[in-house]
Amino acid sequence: MEASDVSPVQRRTFLMVMAAAVGGVLTAAAAWPLLRFLSPVGAGDAAGKVEIAREQVPVGAVHFFQHRGRPAVVLQQTAGQFIALSAVCTHLGCVISWEAAKGEFLCPCHGGRFSSEGQVLGGPPPSPLESLPVVVDGGLLIIG
């Protein structure tokens, strides 16, 4: 067996540097979600308005999109009647889904149910979904 040219002090120093590097990476990975949570949400464009083509929302259907960095949804209940809502459940912030067969929104996390207008129908949500203003301008829906 050959004798090693690396002294125990050099080996110990190398291991300490590597342990510090791994610890730094793990600390950064753990801190990133906390920093994202504490940072303000971007407002998108200056006015906070989103334009969606009217044909993307057929009667009885929904269209999910981003409004000011958060999920939102627009629904056309009857021809020409559009409702836009935040797609974030008011209970714990999960993203809701549309149950077309029932005509209501469902929160998959804890079973919260919302009407097509965003009112609470059941489950733990304490308040209705946030309503967003919708303006129909020709073939466009201007939301926000």
pLDDT at res. 8:
85
User: What is the tens place of the pLDDT at every residue in 21-80?
Assistant: 999 999 999 888 888 777 765 544 445 788 888 888 888 889 999 988 889 999 988 888
pLDDT at res. 105:
92
Q: pTM surpassing 0.75?
A: no
pLDDT at res. 93:
86
Q: What are phi and psi of 110, to 5 degrees?
A: -135, 15
Q: How distant, in Å, are the alpha carbons of 16, 71, 73, 81, 110 from that of 114?
A: 55, 16, 13, 18, 12
* Tokens matching residue 1: 């067996």
Contact call for residues 69 and 44 (beta carbons, < 8 A): yes
Following DSSP, what letter does each residue of 83-99 receive, concatenated? EEEE-B-TTT-PBPEEE
